Structures are given as C-alpha cells and as structure tokens.
C-alpha cells in the first residue's frame, strides 16, 4: 500500500464527518415536515438565501468518482512535489523542458497569494503547479478529460511575469502540460505555435475581452513586458506515461541506503502508483 492510499482514507473520513469541513446538518427537531416538504427556520441560516446541501451517492460512490477526478490527482502531485528535493524536481519536471534550475526549487501552490503579497485566498490563476528557483520558473498544468486554451497559457504568463517582478529576470521560463497519451497530439496542434504569434494572440485577447479579468488588465497595461515573458516561455506537452516513467526511473536510481533515501523512494513510488491507478491517465499497470 502506498502513502497515497492514506489520502483516500482522509477523504472517506471527511465524508462521514462533514462538520470538520464546516458543513453541519440541521438538527432534526428544528425541521417541520409537511405533506409537501420540510420547513427550516430562517434563524438556522447565517446568511439568508444560502444554499442547502445534501449527500449524493454513498461513500464508495464518492471515492469511485474521485478516482477519475483531475483535482484529486493534482493533490497527489502537489503533496509529492512539495516534499521532494530540489534535485528530484529538476529531474522529474524541469528536465522535460530542457531546464536545469540552480539552487533550491520552491513549490508554490495554494499559498500563491501569500507568496506574491496578494489578498488572502485570492484565486486569480487557479494554477495546478508553480515551481521557482533563483534562475528558473516553471508552471505545471495537468489534464485528464478537459481541453486547454490560450487563456490558460495567459494565466501562467501572469505568474511568470509576477515572479520576475518579485525577484529578478530568470534564465529560463517554462510551462509543462501533462495529458493522456491519446490527447497529446490534439494539445500540440491546438497550443503550440511560434512564440511571437502566441504573444500577439494573448495580448489581443486581453485587449478585446468583453469582460476584462485582472489578468487581462495586467497584460494590457504591460504589453511589452508580457510580450517578452510569453516569447521566452518554453512550452512542452508530455503524456502521463512519460511523467510516470521518468518518476519511476528517478525512484529506481536512488539507492535504498539510509532512512532519507528510503523515504524518498517511498514518496516517488507512491506517486507512480497514484498516477497508474487514476482513471484517465492511460498509464498501464506494471
């Protein structure tokens, strides 16, 4: 059993104890039942008009659905890459795009607002992964069944531009897509184009947005800066099989000597298992 099986145990625990997530059942004695339905007193709502939730499916049904959910798989990546060493991140992620980051590689996930000094819990980008070192920065976008578009590339350009404003100009900027084998060609066809053309299209989309987002406004106010960032951003599209096989290769190259090495091997082996067992990655069981 890998460490990621413990993730599913936690999800199941929360399914049975929703109070821990701030979701509380109405006390049965407060509900008045009629022939046509149920009446719940207004005072039980902290905000008038707030939605009422109900369970749909059993705990087993819920876990089955999550095993094909993109967000759950991204949790596995975020956990593993937040723990893994900088050298491992360079080997597993940056190497696919021809980048060799120097020094410490930092994983920036939900703490992105704190990292950039934005308002707390600001979800401007809703990125999958963002990794930075002294001389490199890399965005990670993972896909199972959903498509992508230039707007998603624009959000990573926004992160990369903000990183260079926060620290300094990087030697390397990149964006790595991980998609199922059967969809890799479609992503390459839709997303890869000459850097100048991509910069021109993203800047044009921002300028002509009917309802400009913060990202659109930022691009329109800094056209030269974003043009430079987008043209320097290397984009690579790989399959889940390629990510899995590279992770497995790194795991097998680590000697099982000492507690630290054994822990790292367990971490990477568990990530491989999470990728293989998740529906939609198209990675075959070994």
pLDDT in tens, 59-101: 888 888 888 888 899 999 999 999 999 999 999 999 999 999 9
Q: Find the mean pLDDT for residues 154-166.
A: 94
Q: CA 149 → CA 157, 164, 236, distances in Å?
A: 13, 24, 14
What pLDDT was estimated at residue 111?
77
Q: Does pLDDT of 126 surpass 90?
A: no
| Plot region of 113 (φ>0 → left; ψ -120 to 50 → alpha; else → beta) | alpha
Residue 164 has pLDDT above 90, yes or no: yes
Beta carbons within 8 Å of 142's beta carbon, 6+ residues apart = 70, 73, 74, 77, 128, 129, 177, 178, 179
More confident site: 181 or 110: 181
The residues facing 138 across adjacent strands are 131, 174
HEC string of 248-272 equals: HHHHHHCCCCHHHHHHHHHHHHHHH
The structure tokens 């990369």 sit at 160
Q: At 192, phi and psi to the nearest 5?
A: -85, 130
pTM: 0.88
Q: Is the pLDDT of residue 58 over 60?
A: yes
Q: Which pLDDT does position 131 carry in this prediction?
A: 96
Judge contact between 117 and 46, C-beta under 8 A. Answer: no
Q: How confident is the model at residue 123 (pLDDT cuts 50, 70, 90)?
A: low
Residues near 279 by Cβ (< 8 Å), separated by ≥ 6? Answer: 67, 68, 144
Mean per-residue pLDDT for 197-216? 94
- CB of 79 closer than 8 Å to CB of 268: no
Angle ∠(60,64,67) on CA atoms, nearest 5: 140
Dist. CA 261–CA 269, nearest whole Å? 12
Does 218 score more than 90 pLDDT?
Answer: yes
Is 24's pLDDT higher than 60?
A: yes
3-state secondary structure of 223: helix
Strand partners, 174: 138, 234
pLDDT band for position 232 (50/70/90)?
very high
pLDDT single digits (tens) 133-155: 999 999 999 999 888 999 999 99
The residue written with tokens 């008045």 in the block is 32
Mean pLDDT (whole number) for 231-249? 97
């Amino acid at each position: 059993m890998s460490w990621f099986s413990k993730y599913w145990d936690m999800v199941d625990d929360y399914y049975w104890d929703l109070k821990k997530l701030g979701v509380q059942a109405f006390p049965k004695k407060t509900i008045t039942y009629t022939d046509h339905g149920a009446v719940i007193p207004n005072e039980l709502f902290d905000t008038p008009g707030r939605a009422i939730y109900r369970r749909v499916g059993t705990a087993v049904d819920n876990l089955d659905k999550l095993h094909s959910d993109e967000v759950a798989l991204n949790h596995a990546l975020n956990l593993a890459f937040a723990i893994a060493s900088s050298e491992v991140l360079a080997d597993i992620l940056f190497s696919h795009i021809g980048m060799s980051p120097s020094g410490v590689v930092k994983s920036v996930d939900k703490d992105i607002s704190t990292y950039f000094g934005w308002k707390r819990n600001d979800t401007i980008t809703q990125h999958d992964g963002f990794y930075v070192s002294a001389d490199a920065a890399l965005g990670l976008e993972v896909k199972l069944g959903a498509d992508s578009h230039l707007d998603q590339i624009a959000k990573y350009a926004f992160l990369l531009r903000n990183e260079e404003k926060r620290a300094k100009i990087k030697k390397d900027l990149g964006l790595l897509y991980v998609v199922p084998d059967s969809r890799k060609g479609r992503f390459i066809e839709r997303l890869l184009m000459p850097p100048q053309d991509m910069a021109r299209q993203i800047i044009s989309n921002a300028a002509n947005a009917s309802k400009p987002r913060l990202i659109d406004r930022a691009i329109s106010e800094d056209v030269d800066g974003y043009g430079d960032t987008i043209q320097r951003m290397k984009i690579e599209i790989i399959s889940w099989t390629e990510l899995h096989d590279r992770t497995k290769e790194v795991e097998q190259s680590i000697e099982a000597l000492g507690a630290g090495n054994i822990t790292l091997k367990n971490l990477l082996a568990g990530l491989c298992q999470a990728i293989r067992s998740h529906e939609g990655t198209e990675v075959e069981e070994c």
